[in-house]
Amino acid sequence: MKVLKFGGTSVGSVENMTNVKNIINDGDKKIVVLSAMSGTTNSLVEIASQIKYSNPERALEDINMLHEKYILVIDELLHDKPLNSLTKSYISERFNFLIESTYKTFLSVIENQILAQGELMSTFMFNSFLKQEGINSTLLPALDFMRIDENKEPSIEYIKDNLSAVLNEVEVAEIYITQGFICLDATNEISNLQRGGSDYTATIIGAAIMAEEVQIWTDIDGMHNNDPRFVEGTKPISDLSFDEAAELAYFGAKILHPQTVLPVREDGIPVRLKNTMDPAAKGTSITDNHFETGIKAIAAKDNITAIKIKSGRMLQAHGFLKKVFEIFEIYETSIDMITTSEVAVSLTIDDDRNLDKIVSELETFATIEVDQNQSIICLVGHSIVNHEGTHRLFKILKDVKVRMISYGGSKNNISLLVDTKNKIPTLQKLNSYLFELVTL
Ligand code: ADP
Ligand code: ASP
Ligand code: MG
């Protein structure tokens, strides 16, 4: 069986939902994972924050506006009267839940319940639409099988057992529709797989059922060689290895949730990225295969903090780095990049919640400098460290101030740290030197 995931834009309008219907209606049995309609999760985040900051009137206004939008979509999507009114009454229940939340004391569990409503609504609406079109589909409630543990990792055995139980319980269908993003946590409260998490849902399900393939359908024709939001003329990449895709996703390629490839990498389940608006486009195929073609793609990750740790005691001393790393370990903060010199080590973190505590512990034995608002620019390709074309990357050094470079940590990744205000020009320059082969 295949698992197909459709993102927010793909279910964001009646026209696109019709495209999705045409893509999935090919007679093959499949599990379809849906995101919330585009914009909905952002609105729910905003509603939760209004409630959190004691502004229930604004929250209610936003809830009513969103409800009106859904009524319009349902009227356009569902001309079948009974299905139209069944769906409206389900959607009203979801909005009543949101209205009730505005009276409650704000807790993170309520925030997660609020955020879960988008996927609950999109899947219900889409399932009604398929029924109206005479397609044999049924809903698989994600909260009946999708769960994360204390470390926020998917509880894969639990998911396997419960998903197969749910598949046995529900009506046999050709198309099973489930919610992306949402899950239970280790205490059985509603939680989620972080923003963009529907991709992750799809590969977790793919691994749980040993799917033939996982397809991620979105609003672009596959993984591009640079970030299309900031660089013109980017091109889709036809093939990526799991390692390359994992690096790009982790280092900011928004098309994939950072953890998307992890569940399927070990079993070699292929992942294909496809465009809902242009299904004939080739897209990107992510498999075990490696192709040595030099730097394939560039991605960037923001909100990085660089910490420079300088100490005379580092000189010829062993155990210094151990002492440094232990502090990050205590505060459960992972390190992304690291460079060292004789008396200093610079490293980066993307989670600065415990920054003050980390810095004050480091200050007991070193001088610390902190730079916030940094971006990691990551260049990816199989064995690029040894590739003849890679030197072109250094052409940018003439005009861009690079704070750190990590080269050789892995053969497939070179990372640069730049001030975020220089990120876009750096991405653009790298694009021309590496992919358009501009000469100086
Ligand atoms: P969905 O809602 O379908 O999950 P996303 O918005 O999460 O879609 O991801 C698709 C978007 O990712 C694209 O529209 C594009 O703007 C952005 N993006 C960022 N980097 C890349 C990249 N390297 N290749 C393709 N898309 C990218
Ligand atoms: N709806 C969620 C979000 O916007 C999950 C997803 O779209 O993948 O983050
Ligand atoms: Mg996404």
Listing DSSP states for 160-189 in one string gives HHHHHHHHHHSPP-SEEEEESSEEE-TTS-
Q: What is the pLDDT of residue 329?
A: 96
Q: What is the pLDDT of residue 161?
A: 98
Quick one: average pLDDT of 62-86?
98
- Token pair of 140 as six digits: 């698989």
CA atoms within 13 A on the CB side of 155: 19
Cα distances from 404 to residues 203, 311, 315, 382, 416, in angstroms, run 33, 18, 21, 22, 6
- Token pair of 104 as six digits: 């409650």
Spatial neighbors of 350 by CB under 8 A, at least 6 apart, are: 301, 303, 304, 305, 334, 336
Report the share of the chain in percent with pLDDT over 90: 85
Report which of 377, 412, 372 is spatially closest to residue 397, judged by C-alpha positions: 377
Kindly list the protein residues whose Cβ atom lies closer than 6 A to any atom of ligand 1: 7-10, 35, 196, 218-220, 223-224, 227-229, 253-255, 299
Buried b (16+ CB within 10 A) or exposed e, 321-336: eebbeebbeeeebeeb
Quick one: average pLDDT of 341-355?
93
- Could you identify the atom of ligand 2 that is nearest to the CA of residue 41? 4
Q: What is the mean pLDDT of the chain?
A: 94
Q: How far apart are CA 245 and CA 259, in angstroms?
A: 10
Q: What is the pLDDT of residue 95?
A: 98
- Could you identify the atom of ligand 2 that is nearest to the CA of residue 199? 8
Answer for the pair 359, 368: CB distance below 8 angstroms, yes or no: yes
Strand pairing report for 137-140 and 175-179:
parallel
CA atoms within 13 A on the CB side of 71: 10
- Expressed in angstroms and rounded, the spacing between residue 220 Cα and the centre of ligand 1 is 7
Residue 315 clears pLDDT 80, i.e. is over it: no
Residue 440 clears pLDDT 60, i.e. is over it: no
Q: What angle do CA 335, 341, 344 make, to 5 degrees?
A: 65
Return the sign of the alpha-carbon dihedral for residues 377, 382, 386, 389: negative
Q: What is the pLDDT of residue 109?
A: 85
Give tens-digit pLDDT for 193-245: 999 999 999 999 999 999 999 999 999 999 999 999 999 999 999 999 999 99
Q: How far apart are CA 148 and CA 155, in angstroms?
A: 5
Ligand number with the minimum distance to the CA of 200: 2
Residue 174 clears pLDDT 60, i.e. is over it: yes
Q: What is the pLDDT of residue 104?
A: 82
- Could you identify the atom of ligand 1 that is nearest to the CA of residue 8? 2
Residue 18 clears pLDDT 80, i.e. is over it: yes
Query: Other CB atoms closer than 10 Å to residue 289's CB: what's the count?
Result: 12
What is the helix (H) or strand (E) element at residue 111, kind and residue range?
Answer: helix 108-132
Quick one: average pLDDT of 162-181?
94
The residue to mutate among 214, 240, 254, having the most atoms of ligand 1 within 8 angstroms of its beta carbon, is 254
Quick one: average pLDDT of 407-426?
93
Q: What is the pLDDT of residue 387?
A: 86
Q: How far apart are CA 217 and CA 38, in angstroms?
A: 14
Q: What is the pLDDT of residue 314?
A: 64
- Expressed in angstroms and rounded, the spacing between residue 253 Cα and the centre of ligand 1 is 7
Q: What is the pLDDT of residue 436?
A: 82
| Residue 375: burial class (beta carbons within 10 Å; 0-12, 13-18, 19+) | buried
- Expressed in angstroms and rounded, the spacing between residue 16 Cα and the centre of ligand 3 is 16
3-class DSSP assignment, residue 63? helix
- Expressed in angstroms and rounded, the spacing between residue 275 Cα and the centre of ligand 1 is 10
Q: How far apart are CA 82 and CA 69, in angstroms?
A: 20
Q: Considering only CA atoms, which residue is closest to atom 6 of ligand 2?
A: 196
Residue 377 clears pLDDT 80, i.e. is over it: yes
Q: Which residue has the higher pLDDT, 315 or 421?
A: 421
Residue 412 clears pLDDT 80, i.e. is over it: yes
pTM equals 0.95
In this prediction, residue 438 has a pLDDT band, given cuts at 50, 70 and 90, of confident
Ligand number with the minimum distance to the CA of 221: 1
In this prediction, residue 397 has a pLDDT band, given cuts at 50, 70 and 90, of confident
Cross-strand partners of 417? 376, 404
